[in-house]
Structure 1
């Protein structure tokens, strides 16, 4: 019994005519008839009643039709599985990361994915979160690690970090005397913050706008190290996330901003896992971030 015989059998059953079935499978009618006869011989039963103008299934044919369809579907699944592996070997993956990214699990995920699938061409690019989000939405980027106030509704996401913003300054700064800070406390002081288009800045700007507060943002930098260095030299109060600020606790102190209720998110985003490479990378990424 061969798959092509089952294919011809299903074609005749569905077309109820040998001629139309032959046209459907692109061989001669005599070829279809010969293969069906051979199948019937192997099964030891006639599958079709050929006595009328319309070809119909015999009881044996009715019993065989669904298993035949299932066998053809299974064979098609095998082909798809092999095609996916082949595509993965020859695939491409574009990953974005927010500027100044120091989240090593992302690099761990890229490394384990590359070892598992060395044939996939990986492109890694850096930009602000707004541009990365737009790239994922249009399909130019497969997945990206972004900072955000919220994940766009049209995209899927895996949140890595969710934390409050803090004000960061030297231990002898006047604000260090306060245990609780609000946005209003920042108004007399120059501010160093990330630029527009970043998740942290979006959270900060939205909170200030909701309270009609306009602290002077005199310094902007994409790298947390640069923002912290400005604060260390007394040039500004740095606005950072809590985990960022802890990296500089040997020289800076920080206080939470009590009236910023929305957390800053660090999230891996994607639109639709519609390629084998993206599906495989997401598996590696979830594992890497989960282990961290």
Structure 2
């Protein structure tokens, strides 16, 4: 029995199809079929029922599957241990971010720096909302996410705060609110509100604040790009709630008015799963990002 045969067996079991398993393994389908038949001959029992449209495990195959997975996991663990002793980091890492953070963090440069230090690690990048990334991290589909959060910390998630800023009301310079010294949620609920889309950290913070105050805002515009949100606000199409440094950065077109009752804060964070130990590659990525982002960004989204 060879380790690759167990690898093929697990792939076919999970894909319920020899062709898809071969594509996943980057080998020819006849080779996968031949290796599974050889494994079945060694066991003396069929592992798959091939009579239907999809391939299904036999009773014996279902009983063998946990042991095959455990064997593959043990071998991978041994390889990781050897790599750590040798000072090598290999494997894959998956990182998530949102398009609304693109203007705040130079992620390509950060990932290039990581690649130069760990060229044997394959990197994948996914864009999603804050809610989507949290679920992906919790499910183990992302090793690390860069996201915006309010005060609430999601369960089972470890965080490293990069920045925390007060949220203020952003208005055009000729807006009537520009002459005010402070505003409340009730004030901005009476005006068209320009927001990031549902599922983003700042939108969730706003939703929770309005719900706690039992106020229903008038959402006039939703944007996934924070730069579009800024331009819509500067044109006088409504008011927005943004991190104070972001409004200060765009002071030539926006004015910041403090938000009172309640005062809100937004955070830019790194997030990773806290329940299970990270792989060496994931630990290296988290460490690299924490070091690289110690310098406070200009704004938070």
Task: Mark yes or no: TM-score above 0.5.
Answer: yes
Q: Deviations over 1:138-196 (max 9, x none)?
A: 00111101111222121111011212211111111110111011111112210101111
Where structure 1 has 5 or more consecutive residues not aligned to the other structure, the ranges are: 1-77
- Describe the SS at the equivalent of 1:290: coil
Q: What is the aligned partner in structure 2 of residue 243 from structure 1? A: 245
Q: What is the aligned partner in structure 1 of residue 134 from structure 2? A: 133
Distance 1:219 1:117 in 2: 43
Q: Deviations over 1:206-262 (max 9, x none)?
A: 111111111201100011111111111111112212122223211111112112334
Alignment of 1:1-292 (within 5 A): 81-84=81-84, 89-101=89-101, 102-104=103-105, 106-149=107-150, 150-271=152-273, 272-292=276-296
Taking only aligned residues, the RMSD between alpha carbons, in angstroms, comes to 2.1
* Cα contact 2:196–2:203 (8 A) shared by 1: yes
Cα distance 1:238–1:142, how it changes in 2: closer, same or farther (>3 A)?
same
Distance 2:240 2:183 in 1: 13
Distance 1:259 1:273 in 2: 41
* Cα contact 2:80–2:280 (8 A) shared by 1: no
Q: What is the aligned partner in structure 2 of residue 59 from structure 1? A: none
Distance 1:245 1:106 in 2: 22
Cα distance 1:79–1:165, how it changes in 2: closer, same or farther (>3 A)?
closer
Where structure 2 has 5 or more consecutive residues not aligned to the other structure, the ranges are: 1-77, 297-301
Cα distance 1:88–1:105, how it changes in 2: closer, same or farther (>3 A)?
farther
TM-score for both structures, normalised by structure 2? 0.66
What count of residue pairs does the alignment treat as equivalent?
A: 215
1:80, distance to aligned residue in structure 2 (A): 6.5
- Describe the SS at the equivalent of 2:293: helix
* Cα contact 2:90–2:281 (8 A) shared by 1: no
- Describe the SS at the equivalent of 2:251: coil
* Cα contact 1:155–1:270 (8 A) shared by 2: yes
Over alpha carbons, which structure has the higher Rg? 1
